[in-house]
Amino acid sequence: MQKKAYEIKQLFARFAANESLPFDQEIFVEGWVRTNRNSGKIAFIELHDGTCFRSLQIVYGPELKDFEAVTHYNTGAAIGVRGKLVATPEGQQPFEVHAAEIILLGSVSDDYPLQKKRHTFEYLREEAYLRPRANTFDAVFRLRSVLAMGVHTYFQDRGFVYVHTPEITANDAEGAGQTFLVATDAKDPVNDFFGRRASLTVSGQLHGEAFALAFKNIYTFGPTFRAEKSNTTRHAAEFWMIEPEIAFADLEDDMDLIEDCIKYLIRYVMDRCPDEMAFFDQRIAPGTIAKLEAVLNAPFTRMEYTEGIRLLQEAVAKGHKFENNKIEWGMDLQSEHERYLTEEIVKGPLFLINYPKEIKAFYMRENDDGRTVAACDLLVPGEGEIVGGSEREERYDVLKTKMDALGNTKGLEWYLNLRRFGGCRHAGFGIGFDRLIMYITGIANIRDTEPFPRTSNNLKY
């Protein structure tokens, strides 16, 4: 048998580009059986080799050596196929392989958890080590890989420096107290390895700021960790965040960059993952492509938090029922409120800006009104917040007063010093990478966008 197999991706790519294909010649392919159907006279294997979303149809009949045995190569078995590539202009697929030989490369036991029937996402989560073989996850994880490249391409093309901010840190950047402890001695973590309390990072921002004040434009892109007990479809204990930080920039610049970046990333995957996107559109969340096209073609709405509160109060007055119906200025919006604004009022992505300072992180720049900070959350239909950003407090005295009051100055003197050593206006944001994938694919649960999700009480793999 020929040594080097054709990748199914190559075949479809050449076909799409009108390039020559070895029609009526013998080729060799290898992959895993998705389905194997036999009508007695003729049999079909749907062969998936992992190189693209599509499968290749293999046709064989009783004249094949070991025909009987081959009909029992079940879903999941690894096989090699030698056969003729045949154009099938009338068929469901543009070509197929008429097998002359099919060999078993890896058998599959009868207790294989992924039989060909459709499985629920809940079931597949329990079999997380096998689910990349299911077509939904084939689509999700290939798109995730492509999107990651899109992130790097976007920022690198614009001269942003990629910074590997540390995963182990002594700060709680968001001040929300959701850190995971890092220790070798659980009994005395403070006098442990680092000589002070260490935790996994909740955000690379503070270290990112140090680099932005040297390189002007930087980004981080890596895992972040939050001990979120809230068991929602949008929270994971480990998730990836993209955190750009830009110097000599204000909130407007920040929002312009967020909007441009999100649109670029949507376009990037739509161009590069058409099969996957078509699948999401047909099978996961009908209307996804039209939704994204609309997003690309309109500016994102920008609205004051105060106006958002007014609209929510108006909705309640008109009889709308939220689980939390007590809408008042100063409250932290819940997802139901965010979603009402973005789904019912704006019907598209919405920047809500200038939040009450009490409900936002300490590093956000205080506005002249003395009660709000220059923050922006990007809210999207179906999900709520996917990006959080702000202009940073660059005034030493204002920041120090705030941090002293909060009690987090100690250990973050260096962060304050950035304000004394050439500190200038700067801004940044964090895109929840997994939430962005949910938005683009229409996948409803963050657990189904992450290869091996980590949430509370869930560490099976």
Point out which residues bind Mg ion (CB under 5 A).
Answer: 388
Judged by beta carbon distances under 5 to 8 A according to partner kind, the member of ligand 4AD, Mg ion, none in contact with residue 432 is ligand 4AD
DSSP line for 244-296: EEEES--HHHHHHHHHHHHHHHHHHHHHH-HHHHHHIIIIISTTHHHHHHHHH
Nearer to Mg ion by C-beta: 83 or 388? 388
Judged by beta carbon distances under 5 to 8 A according to partner kind, the member of ligand 4AD, Mg ion, none in contact with residue 140 is none
Nearer to ligand 4AD by C-beta: 228 or 253? 228
Nearer to ligand 4AD by C-beta: 124 or 431? 431
Centroid of chain to Cα 281 = 17
Q: Which 8-state DSSP code applies to residue 323?
A: S
Nearer to Mg ion by C-beta: 46 or 338? 338
* 418's tokens: 């950035």
Smallest gap from Cβ 75 to ligand 4AD, in A, equals 33
Centroid of chain to Cα 438 = 6
Nearer to ligand 4AD by C-beta: 259 or 385? 385
Of 152, 194, 186, give the one whose Cα is nearest residue 170: 194
Smallest gap from Cβ 405 to Mg ion, in A, equals 21
Q: Which residue is nearest to Mg ion (CB)?
A: 388
Smallest gap from Cβ 461 to ligand 4AD, in A, equals 18
Q: Which residue is nearest to ligand 4AD (CB)?
A: 432
Judged by beta carbon distances under 5 to 8 A according to partner kind, the member of ligand 4AD, Mg ion, none in contact with residue 26 is none
Q: How many residues does the chain have?
A: 461
Judged by beta carbon distances under 5 to 8 A according to partner kind, the member of ligand 4AD, Mg ion, none in contact with residue 387 is ligand 4AD
Nearer to Mg ion by C-beta: 205 or 449? 205
Nearer to ligand 4AD by C-beta: 31 or 388? 388
Smallest gap from Cβ 328 to ligand 4AD, in A, equals 22
Residue numbers of the site for ligand 4AD (CB under 6 A)? Answer: 173-174, 203, 205, 226, 228, 235-236, 239, 241, 243, 385-390, 428-430, 432, 434-435, 446
Judged by beta carbon distances under 5 to 8 A according to partner kind, the member of ligand 4AD, Mg ion, none in contact with residue 386 is ligand 4AD
Sequence-distant (≥ 6) Cβ neighbours of residue 460 within 8 angstroms: 126, 128
* 93's tokens: 């697929």
Separation in Å, CA 316 to CA 319, 330, 449: 5, 17, 34
Smallest gap from Cβ 67 to ligand 4AD, in A, equals 51
Smallest gap from Cβ 385 to Mg ion, in A, equals 6
Q: How many CA atoms lie within 13 A of 441 on its CB side?
A: 29
**Dihedral of the CA atoms 39, 41, 42, 43 (nearest 10)?**
50
Smallest gap from Cβ 269 to ligand 4AD, in A, equals 17
Smallest gap from Cβ 441 to ligand 4AD, in A, equals 15
Q: What are residue 431's DSSP bridge partners?
A: 242, 387
Judged by beta carbon distances under 5 to 8 A according to partner kind, the member of Mg ion, ligand 4AD, none in contact with residue 213 is none
Judged by beta carbon distances under 5 to 8 A according to partner kind, the member of Mg ion, ligand 4AD, none in contact with residue 239 is ligand 4AD
Nearer to Mg ion by C-beta: 232 or 282? 232
Smallest gap from Cβ 99 to ligand 4AD, in A, equals 46
Calpha distance 12→15 (Å, rounded):
5
Nearer to Mg ion by C-beta: 388 or 442? 388
Helix ranges (H only) for 110-204 are: 121-126, 135-157
What three-state secondary structure class fits 102? strand
DSSP line for 354-387: EEEGGGS-TTBPBPTTSSEEEEEEEEETTTEEEE
Judged by beta carbon distances under 5 to 8 A according to partner kind, the member of ligand 4AD, Mg ion, none in contact with residue 150 is none
Of 26, 35, 28, give the one whose Cα is nearest residue 4: 28
Helix ranges (H only) for 33-93 are: 67-70
